[in-house]
Amino acid sequence: MAESIDYYFTSASPFAYMGHDLLLAIGGKHGKKINFKPFNIAKVWNESGSVPLGERSPVRQRYRLIELQRISRFRNVTLNTRPRFFPTDITLADLCICALVLDEENPASFARAVGEAIWKDEKQVADEETLLELLSATGHDGKPVLAAAQGAEAAALRDENTAAATEHDAIGAPAYLYMGEVFWGQDRLEYLEDMISSGRDAFTSEG
């Protein structure tokens, strides 16, 4: 079986949203399954030394706004740099993705829809009604998924994803793991594809 790509992310990340389509394209082009692994980004940041947006220096906050514009143009993805409902509590939305994974449903369209809802359509994805709408629009039976998202199995899977992300040195979201090598950020997707295309061995911190 072909090696798969482990996709560690939170669907609130604008960078995950902007890299989503290219990740799917790379997976499809090279026959690689993408394993969707939503995580608790606060815990990942705590391990990697990163801090929430509001705690970053003014210069880093300003640069982020430039980067969002730059990347959205480069990736041809519509994005509002200051959406109405951000920051938001993304926990339930990410747990819905976990529930879909547990039910062996493909969460790709829903994950993208959540990002688009935040960064393009300015919807409040912390609201259950919004999530039901997005689940239905992407071909899922919303109420059972939402119920499962609030159960112990989905929460446990998200915790497992968080632990695995830190174990594999994910710094933040998104992070892509292929054959043991981690790629942090959507701007590393071309590097990921180069690794797949070339068939090279994974690089390690051992050098």
Render pLDDT for 137-193 as a digit per residue (tens, 0 to 9): 999 999 999 999 999 999 999 999 999 999 999 999 999 999 999 999 999 999 999
User: What's the pTM?
Assistant: 0.95
Q: What is the pLDDT of residue 206?
A: 86
* Cβ-contact 37, 65 below 8 angstroms: no
pLDDT at 52: 78
pLDDT surpassing 80 at residue 93: yes
Measured between alpha carbons, how far is 37 from 101 in angstroms, rounded to an integer?
Answer: 9
Fold of the domain spanning 5-198: Glutaredoxin (3.40.30)
Cα(159)–Cα(84) distance, rounded to whole angstroms? 29
CA atoms within 13 A on the CB side of 95: 21
Q: How far apart are CA 68 and CA 66, in angstroms?
A: 5
